[in-house]
Structure 1
């Protein structure tokens, strides 16, 4: 036999594998092909019944999914993010390095040696040990000025500590130069990054986790948490469906802005057992939800007049969401969520 015939046999065996071929998996070998529970769009009942190999006419069952419109409503960060421990130590080191190298104070240009002003300057330096209160006890002119790195766990690296030291220094300066010694001047402190809602753990408040993006989640009548969604009605676009869903679920007491007209992600939920509608020839497989991104400007969610039977709502950051939703649901929506 020629080599060409052998090559043709090998190609034929690849295109049409034998049952005994060990390269075919067991599931494919043992699987018996039966009637499918659905038909393609090009196939109709007449074609099935007129087939010479068909003895019984089966009804055409079309698979179907309920299409939902969902909204990814978020509140953007209000303040800068928290610094990492490495960033805190690095910025603190740069402050001390700047104190030692870049900004040496030429005191004799301002204070003549031996004058009362020179002695007063030396006394203040001895008391403060530094020209900048926010970098801790550090003398840039001492023999150990080279030791300007921060020890692990030192409080001087914390921004709150640095702010407090600067405020205390400003208060001391103001009170020392004030003509009225009967009352003590107080410098207003900056607002804390931790709000009252953070301290109380109020997840319904928008005035919490100011450095993070918060997302609106609602609790259905069945008790599970999800992003607001509802089925798209007839002759309704996705954008209009999202606007209606937002009003019906979280109320109209919010000033919101939808970012676009196209979905940023989707979630597919398959029923454990398909629901057959024999009257219409439809087999309901599950739900497909498409989400449009939105922003809340002002206002707050209100479920008192919702028409979806919702029980509760929360504003959650990305790292808080897995505590309330299922693993599959979170895996489908996590790529829509901002890391910050």
Structure 2
């Protein structure tokens, strides 16, 4: 045996620990036979060198740049029932702690303002309209908790109670009795796009992250992607892909220069390909993450033959994407 082969074995032993080594745990010993270490690098280099020298050898994969374009949440998420009840309990607790502070700090005894305050307390049984009828000086003052699912814990109910209180105060103090004061309500969390299920609108699911899907000319849904051209980096290819597919009428921001995930596709070979030994190259898509700041997707001038687009939440993507495609990209998407 030559000294060169002995040296190679010594190098390989350094790169790959022995299976019978007492310092290696049992689980690692079972997987050592399946691991691929850098000791195979010389074989890879010789293969790549022969590929570069032989122009007849075609690449096994076409490298593509993909873009995971997302619109971040615009509002806070919905509260859980327990969170609503606990928040309401804190409001009532604050009411109890604030009551010992004398009201005569605000109103002089016997004045009209003091009498008006006493009248409102009798009507409401509390100083705050949004926490329901509750009297901290009553015999039931200990019962300041709220049953799970009670309407008083719903933010919409609390907002309506506060708005009605403000309107009654404004109308009572207004000098123009012919006109009723109206306090503007906050915008609802459920938009018209939600009611119509308009999946092209960015005004739907405001508390969720939406992702841009495009439909190819063959009818397949995917993230925007295209092959990397000569001289391009993955980042430049992703920026070009987004402009060519969804248009330039969007203000977007790429999170980084490195991919967050990838998907490999190997086309099926037909009988004709097997007979002629022609093997079509596969496709590897490396996805870069990008954020949507303003604007909207526009496919009217796209150069990739795309037919349609949708803005979808994570759980909605599975209805349109290929099973293997979705399995490879789902873990790089935000749950909310």
Please give the TM-score of this superposition, normalised by the length of structure 1. Answer: 0.76
Equivalent runs, 1:1-340 vs 2, <5 Å: 42=46, 64-107=60-103, 119-273=115-269, 283-284=279-280, 286-340=282-336
SS at match of 2:92: helix
Any stretches of 5+ residues in structure 2 without a counterpart? 1-18, 21-42, 51-55
- C-alpha spacing 1:110/1:303, structure 2 compared with 1 (3 Å): closer
C-alpha deviations, 1:157-200, integer Å up to 9, x for none? 11111111101101111111112211111111111122221111
Aligned length: 289
CA contact (8 A) 1:268 1:287 kept: yes
Contact 2:318/2:326, CA 8 A, preserved across alignment: yes
Work out the CA distance in 2 between the residues paired with 1:294 and 1:145: 53
Task: Answer whether contact 1:69 1:232 (CA < 8 A) is retained.
Answer: yes
1:181–1:233 distance in 2 versus 1, CA, 3 Å: same
| Bigger share in helix | 2
SS in 2 for 1:67: strand
TM-score by length of 2: 0.77
Q: Which stretch shifts more, 160-169 or 252-261?
A: 252-261
| Structure 2 Cα separation of the partners of residues 283 and 183 of structure 1 | 80
**Are the counterparts in 2 of residues 61 and 283 from structure 1 also a CA contact under 8 Å?**
no
